[in-house]
Structure 1
């Protein structure tokens, strides 16, 4: 039993909570995976500066002219490491080779909550850019005194300040001398004008891509410590199952097994070697007896149950007052769309390492929020915040709330059992598939009024959905382990509204429009999956816009333009037409579809054309090409935007064509890639992305812009080729009426 942990938990209310920060340094840079000595965790190189307004909270110079950028956001493969370094280097006129970055570490970086919502460049990037501009202003003031010049007589190149008055120079490093920049970010320092950019807007290559491509150690899954122990957690066979018995004598005698941990229904084995922990886990599964609860409703009844057993609808966006007159002119069309449960399907199963040493708990994790995870672990194990440090590491696949936080909780519990030893907890593929929080199933009903001349005058959307946000934010009940302990923590629910109705309100100019949400508590665990409810909402919205265009006898692209006054939206669409071509000519065996959205109606604009090819003999189809145009405002790194958009297009296509979680009364059945197929290399279509750069404008979040439009574009292409209007995801070939095809 977990006597040590229970002792800690029993007295956790007695701990005095401090508002201070744990000032520990750590030299492992994200992206430089290698074997470490545990003592390196406590060799301070950088420490957290609590004052968010201090320049040194975001950027720091050392005495060798190296600039360190600090961000509380995580690198999840989206390329923010490079983009944020570009922004800082640009404002300070230094070369990229002089810049490094520290990412998401409660001992070194500011609390920037979660890396989510495509907000890293807008949020953290803006803070870093302003800090760099303030640093430049401060350094030039120092340089003016040293060089006997006025500030307006100075210029900077590669970190060397030069006076036009006397041609004297001085390096940043000689001004800083390894000390702190004793100044604050006021927000009043002048930012560099776009016309003077040398780095921003350029496709600077990401060093981490090269490391991954040549199989260098990079991810949390690769991290190793000397004398590291290995743990496996035995999860229940189904939600809410309780452990009845587990004879441990035989398992304890297995080679390499150091400890069997049982606390309620939280069961784990700790061993000297990874394979030994895996063998012991297999024996545990054979011997364990559980009391299980059957899952309901089953998939065949899910959508009907969602409508029947959800809350009454609440208008959350748009026109709040009912107006029956808007439906009197023209005809009314209605349609219903469905999205199943879908998973992140992270290529690398979740992993974390915990170390309980010298009265301090350190967790290495690929969480999307190091500070929220720290506070949640504090609640889980009863340690005060200042005794816990969470260090962010890249993970092999994420884009939402997958199992990273849960395995971090596992590592915290098990590290406390083995003081002084790093404990690595690696989930198995089955764990990841069956226990990660899924993207919620959704039912969407849309009604619109269409005039005789093809104008939409009214629009209503009703959404039935479970939560899209149950991320840990301080309550241990949001972790699987917290719910399975002998004294379990209660899950206090997630937020329904925000993520559920994201992009449910059309950007189009309709006289009347609103969206209502019906909150549902479903049978499976759900939370944030890339773009949250926007994927399902845009699938429905843009599919229905196509249906309305057909009913009105209009070209679907022109139909959208006729309902748009937003100039940037119109330019994204017209640019796509120019780049990819568009006409209504039918080609046997081929189909094309179009879709558009502005992510969250306030982030990046994106339009996409999907092209499919039918195989009548096999009664299937293939997605052959996706062409996209994105306007993300100021493009910090166009190459990064293209990578993110192309990756988002491919991921969305996989969701749209293949993915749904299979489950039965006895648990989740999608436990492998065979039972939850995703795109293989041969399935990936050709992708082409064009970026509209607007250097004079603020950068917009780009990472999730493609998800929804791609789904609708594929559905619209299927209709174009087959005459079948598919309204239920995934868009599998068996849902097509092949008898309609001539």
Structure 2
């Protein structure tokens, strides 16, 4: 039997390229947190976990984070290249592999640059200093006299030595230090400059870009047959005819988990359709009435927590006692179940050889997935290797982990053959974990001068995180003969939060109370969708700020600035308004402007968005004509990547906010295709989207990927209200809903 995939000998064999051996700390002492280490160096403090250089001078950069389309491959290479003083093209990036990279848990919460980027920057800087020290010894010259250019160190007399030569026979298995000698931002040649993203060419040229494109020797194809509705159990299966179909290699049943493996994809699809006809299922409990969704949320058992309080709650005048001129406003906002709606249905490939599994997956957490798969299969984690490959659509917990579980269960039944499982569209829309519905209620009081003197906010939300780590978080594991139950849901604590993410406004409010009603159970399976509760909370808070500005007879931007004391927030807010031309805006019939701001999680990137809409009153059709955003993400490593993220975030949020809503009846999900679950189409795209970056060289990375979703939704609703005079507080702003309100 071969060595376990994660054994020390296998790690060294896989990683060693010649001079520098990549050996991971496996014992508790080495894995202990060293206070003061920056980024993910806290949990993986060895330099050779992040930077590897072979005898020929080839440099590999390792990250436990996954490329999801957010462009981190390019930005992380820029950071390493800058500190190692080499061209980015000289580097190879290895992402999210349970054998080759550090364990950085999940790629989520806009943490990649904060955690992995910070670790790689400091690790590369410390490796550069170590290499200079080795060169100084080799060349017998003071390190300060040496010059470094593209991986070669040169002495004043012209003698040269390459990084690879210096490391011959030596290792960089060295613990990182809390402080690093970083390149001065004023001398940056790579960081802060636009660099063409390395993940784009294959995607636009039809190359092999995604796990969907993976083809391995001897690979076979599989499909899974799901119950007709959640809660149904398989009573009987007559698969004799299916087993005799041409190309069918195996039919697998374990409890209510049913799948078929075939030579080709078409044969697997046809066999799965026949297999579905051969299944007899129990009746499933009826789903609740969709029309009662929000009433049911408000009535559901909740764990209630006051997450923020200051001043005297309920104050209605500047003096703290009811004032005759004080004005109070209350409003309620709602967000439905929504899909990830990945354009490429979830896909995975698994292979079972000699008691060990290899899984190619677009999971956002390869290490937690490995833990969940090991529990489901009843094997040690060392027997499973999870390798990340990109998926065609993600940003949250979609079906990527579930299809990986499907693949390993089917691969176990066909040892030696790589088994590829791709969900069908109806699987993706019907079985992925949804973004949960939410209800938010805001109440505020203005003093006679139009200042907010009292603020109360409540949010009701099911869980926003059921990512794997436990087998019960995998769909297939819940259908086995010995099923795994989903673990009890828990709220994500502040300051990041889940359903209460961004529920605490960044504005300076003297009397404030924010309450989170955590609903442990949801009527359907839910988990993380991009930005979690921030999307709904920012939509609610920034819509409410607009309503308060109207009540105060104040300009919406001026009203926000009046209540903001954070200078970086003020700069972003002014930048977006000025670039949009807020003060000079000329009104046209059927058009209106909207504005919104938030700092993601109140500790991430600052983003302000101003946009214009046109509304057709007769049809309720809403289209954004242009959008202007300003963002402060801290130091901008790749400005083009930041623009990509904000542009994409705006468009995705507009799609959520104009179109997207899961629908169902008593028997099951009805939005199983693009007709039942429409997304934003090209005719509704803005004519122009501008993103303006306030770069902060030398400042910490703040994360960008989820900064735009909430402000875009609120700016949209505010613009529709400005164009029509009617306030819509329920998402999405579908044309039927807009037409009915108008």
Length-normalised TM-score, structure 2: 0.92
Is the 8 Å Cα contact of residues 501 and 515 (structure 1) preserved in structure 2? Answer: no
Displacement, 1:308? Answer: 1.1
**1:640-651 pair list within 5 angstroms:** 640-651=641-652
**1:490-509 pair list within 5 angstroms:** 490-497=485-492, 498-509=497-508
Q: 2:113 aligns with which of 116, 121, 124?
A: 121
What do residues 496-529 of structure 1 show as CA deviations (whole Å, max 9, x unaligned)? 3421100001000000223211122221110000
CA 1:139–1:739: 2 relative to 1, 3 Å:
closer
Counterpart of 1:695 in structure 2 is 697
Counterpart of 2:82 in structure 1 is 90
Displacement, 1:244? Answer: 1.4
Is the 8 Å Cα contact of residues 75 and 81 (structure 1) preserved in structure 2? Answer: yes
Displacement, 1:658? Answer: 0.3
Counterpart of 1:489 in structure 2 is 484
Q: Secondary structure at the match of 1:499?
A: coil
Counterpart of 2:199 in structure 1 is 208
Please identify, of 608-617 and 439-448, the stretch whose mean Cα deviation from structure 2 is larger: 608-617
Displacement, 1:227? Answer: 1.1
Is the 8 Å Cα contact of residues 67 and 100 (structure 1) preserved in structure 2? Answer: yes
Q: How far apart, in 1, do the equivalents of 2:435 and 2:388 lie?
A: 23
Is the 8 Å Cα contact of residues 327 and 449 (structure 1) preserved in structure 2? Answer: no
Q: Secondary structure at the match of 2:498?
A: helix
Is the 8 Å Cα contact of residues 23 and 108 (structure 1) preserved in structure 2? Answer: no
Q: Does 1:99 align with 2:91?
A: yes
Q: Secondary structure at the match of 2:115?
A: helix
Counterpart of 1:530 in structure 2 is 530
Q: How far apart, in 2, do the equivalents of 1:202 and 1:496 lie?
A: 39
What do residues 395-420 of structure 1 show as CA deviations (whole Å, max 9, x unaligned)? 10100000000111111111111111
Q: 2:405 aligns with which of 380, 404, 409?
A: 409
**1:336-351 pair list within 5 angstroms:** 336-351=332-347
Displacement, 1:465? Answer: 1.0
Displacement, 1:632? Answer: 0.2
What do residues 19-53 of structure 1 show as CA deviations (whole Å, max 9, x unaligned)? 9668358989xxxxxxxxxxxxxxx9976554532
CA 1:26–1:642: 2 relative to 1, 3 Å:
farther
- CA RMSD across the alignment: 2.1
What do residues 51-77 of structure 1 show as CA deviations (whole Å, max 9, x unaligned)? 532211100111222210000000101
Q: 1:69 aligns with which of 57, 61, 67?
A: 61
Q: Secondary structure at the match of 2:10?
A: coil
Is the 8 Å Cα contact of residues 633 and 697 (structure 1) preserved in structure 2? Answer: yes
What do residues 512-552 of structure 1 show as CA deviations (whole Å, max 9, x unaligned)? 22321112222111000000000000000000000000000
Counterpart of 1:36 in structure 2 is none
Counterpart of 1:233 in structure 2 is 224
Counterpart of 1:574 in structure 2 is 574
What do residues 178-209 of structure 1 show as CA deviations (whole Å, max 9, x unaligned)? 75324321122311110111100010111221
Counterpart of 2:34 in structure 1 is none
Q: How far apart, in 2, do the equivalents of 1:189 and 1:589 lie?
A: 56
**1:376-455 pair list within 5 angstroms:** 376-455=372-451
Displacement, 1:310? Answer: 3.2
Displacement, 1:313? Answer: 2.9
CA 1:26–1:259: 2 relative to 1, 3 Å:
farther
CA 1:215–1:320: 2 relative to 1, 3 Å:
farther
Structure 1 alignment gaps of length 5 or more: 1-16, 29-43
What do residues 351-390 of structure 1 show as CA deviations (whole Å, max 9, x unaligned)? 1111110221111100000000000001000010111111
Displacement, 1:151? Answer: 1.3
Q: Does 1:199 align with 2:195?
A: no
Please identify, of 549-558 and 330-339, the stretch whose mean Cα deviation from structure 2 is larger: 330-339
Q: How far apart, in 1, do the equivalents of 2:196 and 2:396 lie?
A: 25
Q: Secondary structure at the match of 2:414?
A: coil
CA 1:403–1:509: 2 relative to 1, 3 Å:
same
Counterpart of 1:671 in structure 2 is 672
Q: How far apart, in 2, do the equivalents of 1:85 and 1:58 lie?
A: 12
Displacement, 1:391? Answer: 0.6
Displacement, 1:321? Answer: 7.9
Is the 8 Å Cα contact of residues 470 and 493 (structure 1) preserved in structure 2? Answer: no
**1:261-410 pair list within 5 angstroms:** 261-311=252-302, 313-319=304-310, 328-329=322-323, 330-410=326-406
- Count how many residue pairs are aligned between Structure 1 and Structure 2: 707
Q: How far apart, in 2, do the equivalents of 1:167 and 1:733 lie?
A: 72
Q: How far apart, in 2, do the equivalents of 1:312 and 1:207 lie?
A: 45
Q: How far apart, in 1, do the equivalents of 2:87 and 2:384 lie?
A: 36
Is the 8 Å Cα contact of residues 233 and 281 (structure 2) preserved in structure 1? Answer: yes
CA 1:424–1:297: 2 relative to 1, 3 Å:
same
Counterpart of 1:151 in structure 2 is 143
Is the 8 Å Cα contact of residues 724 and 737 (structure 1) preserved in structure 2? Answer: no
What do residues 97-134 of structure 1 show as CA deviations (whole Å, max 9, x unaligned)? 11010000001111100000000011011111111111
Q: How far apart, in 2, do the equivalents of 1:622 and 1:57 lie?
A: 48
Is the 8 Å Cα contact of residues 23 and 48 (structure 1) preserved in structure 2? Answer: no
Is the 8 Å Cα contact of residues 220 and 261 (structure 2) preserved in structure 1? Answer: yes
Counterpart of 1:662 in structure 2 is 663
Q: Does 1:134 align with 2:126?
A: yes
Structure 2 alignment gaps of length 5 or more: 31-43
Counterpart of 2:718 in structure 1 is 716
CA 1:170–1:46: 2 relative to 1, 3 Å:
closer
CA 1:283–1:264: 2 relative to 1, 3 Å:
same
Is the 8 Å Cα contact of residues 78 and 640 (structure 1) preserved in structure 2? Answer: yes
Is the 8 Å Cα contact of residues 47 and 108 (structure 1) preserved in structure 2? Answer: no
Displacement, 1:628? Answer: 0.6
Q: Secondary structure at the match of 1:736?
A: helix
What do residues 206-231 of structure 1 show as CA deviations (whole Å, max 9, x unaligned)? 12211111010110000011111111
Q: Secondary structure at the match of 1:536?
A: helix
Q: How far apart, in 1, do the equivalents of 2:261 and 2:173 lie?
A: 48
